Amino acid sequence: EDQVTQSPEALRLQEGESSSLNCSYTVSGLRGLFWYRQDPGKGPEFLFTLYSAGEEKEKERLKATLTKKESFLHITAPKPEDSATYLCAVTGANSKLTFGKGITLSVRP
């Protein structure tokens, strides 16, 4: 069974303090790893898809990387508007989209 573990559960940063969010996964036949952002009371918003180890993608202050066992979401010089819950999900050979529990990020001004 596919599994996704995210750490830490919660992260508090000062504005401008860079950090990384971790997503560890076990999946049979990885077909894609996805990062989402979720604001309170809203559905998850798609950020990135990574397909193979070594792949990297960037969007504004966010950069996602992928190895054979984990993915990192690096946040450079975060701003208060980056505060949200970040969800990691994987799809394997069974085509099932499995999510982790998410990491709640708070950025203080």
| Closer residue to another protein in complex, CB, 17/46 | 46
Torsion of CA 22, 5, 59, 41, to 10 degrees: -120
Strand pairing category for 10-14 and 103-108: parallel
Residue with tokens 């397909």: 51
- Asked if 59 touches another protein (CB under 8 A), the answer is no
95 CA to centre of own chain: 19
**Minimum Å distance from CB 67 to another protein?**
19
- Asked if 98 touches another protein (CB under 8 A), the answer is yes
Residues within the interface to another protein (CB under 8 A)? 4, 6, 31-32, 34, 36, 41-46, 49, 87, 89, 91, 94-102
